[in-house]
Amino acid sequence: MSLKETQVRADSKDLSRFENNVRSSMKWSSLLAKSVLKKAAYVVGFIFLWWAVTGMHLLPAFAVPSPSAVAKVTESSFSSLLSQSWVSAQRVIISVLAIWVIGAIVGVLIGMTPRMWPLLSLGRALYAVPIVVVYPLLGVWFGVGGTSKIVFGFVSGILPMSLMSAAAVRSIDENIYMLFASLRVSRASMFRRAVFPAALPGVISAMRLSGSMGLVSVVVGEMLLSANGIGYWISNAESQFEGPTLYEGIIMVLVFALILNGLVGFLERKVAAAYG
Amino acid sequence: MTQSINKFSMKASAEPNAINPTSADLTGHDGTVDVRGLTVCYTDSRKQKHTVLQDVSFNVPSGTFATVIGPSGSGKSTLLKILGGLHPAEAGETVIGGRLITEPNPDLVTIVFQDSSLLPWRTVIRNVALPLETAGVNRLEREERAQKVLELVGLGDCIHKYPRELSGGMKQRVAIARGLVVEPSVLLMDEPFAALDEQSRYEMGEELLKLWDRLKSTVIFVTHNLSEAVFLADKVIVLEGRPATVGQTVDVNFSRPRDLGLMVSPEFHVVRDQLYTSLKRDRIRSSGTYSWSQESPGPNGELLKGDR
């Protein structure tokens, strides 16, 4: 158990140390306000730095365009940026949800069934294969449209999600099983009262990793072979030497990652609170 | 097996195997434990069969505090698992309160494990209420009963804390409360204080005796600490040899209530040394097959390391 606790704690380190320190001593609402303020300060600081570096003209304007150039391009292209982002967002949502739901179910079932554990070493071996090598194949099977991106994202994320969920179930303390056996409970009750809550922190760690893998793969898929989506936006801007447009796309992907991270972080905090 | 009569064992004079009305009146249930010819094997990861317990027989009258001692790997924990219905026996039978044990009987027999096995996501009171919850007792009643038991073990103030906020000793109290909440006839304890420091261990033992004095259920307490075994017990069951069998049972007749002062009395040491000698004899007899440490016991009787 303590292992899992440290895992959760290690993950929540992403939230920054400062937030961790104040968490115990402050209420939720003021905590949220503080954390938003702090994040805003970081963003402002970053933009200032960016502006300062480009203002000195140390770097070519294509490689590092100034914030004002990016803002100007964004102003004129914002609606098309949003529509392309929405195309990608839909693909990411379907892909990541499928990873989380199917991966958790498969992983937990395998974890609960010792006879299926040999599958895990097979999974680990497959996990070492760079999935991107099958992407051209997915293009052939599912076409150049959205489906191949969704499938690609799913394929990249499903293995870590299932493997880590199974590991979370397997690492449940033997004594907890013994306790429930001595209470003579049904398998369903054991799942609800022991397996699910005990595995939850590990499953959420799995969600964090596999979710970002799904996101990366959808975007990469769009960059490699597509006619729309934020990945296409980026690769297109690159081939046309449109530095500011390229940055627009990159910032949008960052926003995606932040949203995903925020969502998993929220779940993590909820679970941590419920676990004392 | 001799039956000693002292002030305490008056209520525990049940005949083996028979439901004694006197003890039933006192405890509410019959907690007689009768083990006959028990042989237990387990199969290791290389599919080899090992006999852990060979022809183990003993009888613990209802309401008795019995301790089981023996070297590491002598099958003490396995014996408890059999009594709890968690492990099948190769031969022989276990009868508790007139019931043949073939599976767990959570209303009759409860187990307190070596590590407290508390669920970290549940508060103290919800941990203690777990056996009632799985038995289908309604929320109001189970919280009331859990609260009562927690007050009994001195944790009335901590009911809404989480296990990680408690010390090792407090966690074990919670585990004991969880074992007692269903008011079992027999409480099985598997080295419950092994992880505690010396001082806390004996203090917890003293408190356990007070608690037991009020509840009068049968306790079977596994330990490898001789002093603890003698201090707590009416009856010490010594497991010897490999595969292990009951080497002897020793009746301990010190008057109750007992306090820690007993442990420095000469009479206490006579009993403890007698047990130590017999365990040592066994160790010499079977040396070569035993893997336990050759160190002599410390002044506290810490003879052996824990099972795990």
User: Which pLDDT score is estimated for A126?
Assistant: 87
pLDDT band at B70 (very low <50, low <70, confident <90, very high): confident
Task: Answer yes or no: are the C-beta atoms of B148 and B132 closer than 8 Å.
Answer: no
Instruction: With respect to residue A52, please indicate whether it lies within any of the assigned structural domains.
Output: no
Most confident of A47-51, A106-110, B114-118, B289-293: A106-110
CATH number at residue A217: 1.10.3720.10
User: Which pLDDT score is estimated for B199?
Assistant: 84
**Tokens 């070493």, residue located:** A121
C-alpha–C-alpha distance, residues B151 and B182, integer Å: 15
pLDDT at residue B255 greater than cutoff 50: yes
Task: Give how far B129 is from chain A: nearest CA, Å.
Answer: 12
Strand order in the sheet with B218-222: B109-112, B186-190, B218-222, B65-69, B235-240, B245-251
User: Which pLDDT score is estimated for A263?
Assistant: 93
Whether residue A189 and residue B85 make contact (CB cut-off 8 A), yes or no, is no
Name every chain B residue with its beta carbon within 8 A of the beta carbon of A200.
121
Residues 6+ apart with CB under 8 A from B34: B16, B17, B59, B60, B94, B95, B96
Strand, coil or helix: A185? coil
pLDDT at residue A3 greater than cutoff 70: no
CATH of B30-108+199-265, one of 1.10.760.10, 3.40.50.1360, 3.40.47.10, 3.40.50.300: 3.40.50.300
User: Which pLDDT score is estimated for A169?
Assistant: 92
pLDDT tens per residue, range A73-103: 888 888 888 999 999 999 999 999 999 999 9
Say whether residue A176 is in contact with chain B using an 8 A CB cutoff: yes
Tell me which of B83, B126, B134 to substitute to probe the interface with A (most A C-beta atoms closer than 10 Å). B134
Name every chain B residue with its beta carbon within 8 A of the beta carbon of A173.
117
Instruction: Work out the average pLDDT over B215-227.
Output: 88
Tell me which of B103, B117, B162 to substitute to probe the interface with A (most A C-beta atoms closer than 10 Å). B117
Say whether residue B42 is in contact with chain A using an 8 A CB cutoff: no
Name every chain B residue with its beta carbon within 8 A of the beta carbon of A198.
119, 121
User: Which pLDDT score is estimated for A150?
Assistant: 94
Residues 6+ apart with CB under 8 A from A60: none
Comparison of pLDDT for A51 and A165, the residue scoring more: A165
Whether residue A182 and residue B119 make contact (CB cut-off 8 A), yes or no, is no
Looking at chain B from residue 154 to 183, which residues have their Cβ under 8 Å from any Cβ of chain A?
A: 161-165
Instruction: Work out the average pLDDT over A123-152.
Output: 88
User: Which pLDDT score is estimated for A54?
Assistant: 84
Comparison of pLDDT for B71 and B184, the residue scoring more: B184
Name every chain B residue with its beta carbon within 8 A of the beta carbon of A178.
86, 111, 113, 117
User: Which pLDDT score is estimated for B178?
Assistant: 92
Residues 6+ apart with CB under 8 A from B59: B1, B16, B17, B32, B33, B34, B35
Q: How many CA atoms lie within 13 A of A234 on its CB side?
A: 21
Residue of A nearest to B114 (CA): A175
User: Which pLDDT score is estimated for B187?
Assistant: 92
Whether residue A189 and residue B130 make contact (CB cut-off 8 A), yes or no, is no
pLDDT tens per residue, range A43-63: 899 888 888 888 888 778 777
pLDDT band at A255 (very low <50, low <70, confident <90, very high): very high
Say whether residue B126 is in contact with chain A using an 8 A CB cutoff: no
pLDDT band at A106 (very low <50, low <70, confident <90, very high): very high
Task: Give how far B258 is from chain A: nearest CA, Å.
Answer: 31
Q: What is the mean pLDDT of chain A?
A: 85
User: Which pLDDT score is estimated for B16?
Assistant: 40
Whether residue A182 and residue B103 make contact (CB cut-off 8 A), yes or no, is no
Task: Spell out the domain ranges in chain B.
Answer: 30-108+199-265, 119-183
Task: Give how far A178 is from chain B: nearest CA, Å.
Answer: 8
pLDDT at residue A246 greater than cutoff 70: yes
Name every chain A residue with its beta carbon within 8 A of the beta carbon of B121.
197-198, 200, 274-276
Size of interface A-B (CB pairs under 8 A): 61
Per the structure, the count of domains in chain A is: 1
Residue of B nearest to A175 (CA): B117
Instruction: Work out the average pLDDT over A264-273.
Output: 88
pLDDT at residue B282 greater than cutoff 80: no
pLDDT band at B285 (very low <50, low <70, confident <90, very high): low
Name every chain A residue with its beta carbon within 8 A of the beta carbon of B103.
184
Q: Pseudo-torsion of CA A47, A48, A53, A56, nearest 10°? A: 130
Looking at chain A from residue 183 to 212, which residues have their Cβ under 8 Å from any Cβ of chain B?
A: 183-185, 189, 193-194, 197-198, 200
CA distances from B47 to A116, B42, B53 (A): 19, 9, 18
Instruction: Work out the average pLDDT over B94-102.
Output: 87
pLDDT at residue B9 greater than cutoff 50: no
Whether residue B120 and residue A1 make contact (CB cut-off 8 A), yes or no, is yes
Instruction: With respect to residue A49, please indicate whether it lies within any of the assigned structural domains.
Output: no
Out of B86, B130, B161, the one facing A181 most closely (by C-beta) is B86
pLDDT at residue A210 greater than cutoff 90: yes
pLDDT tens per residue, range A8-46: 444 444 444 444 444 455 566 777 778 788 888 988 998
Task: Answer yes or no: are the C-beta atoms of B170 and B158 closer than 8 Å.
Answer: yes
Instruction: With respect to residue A33, please indicate whether it lies within any of the assigned structural domains.
Output: no
Residues 6+ apart with CB under 8 A from A201: A4, A5, A7, A8, A168, A268, A271, A272, A275
Name every chain A residue with its beta carbon within 8 A of the beta carbon of B113.
175, 178-179
Structural domain harbouring A188 = 65-275
pLDDT tens per residue, range B157-177: 888 889 888 888 889 889 999
pLDDT at residue B42 greater than cutoff 90: no
Instruction: With respect to residue A32, please indicate whether it lies within any of the assigned structural domains.
Output: no
Whether residue B104 and residue A179 make contact (CB cut-off 8 A), yes or no, is no
Amino acid at B94: T
Comparison of pLDDT for B303 and B168, the residue scoring more: B168
Q: Is the pTM of this model over 0.80?
A: no
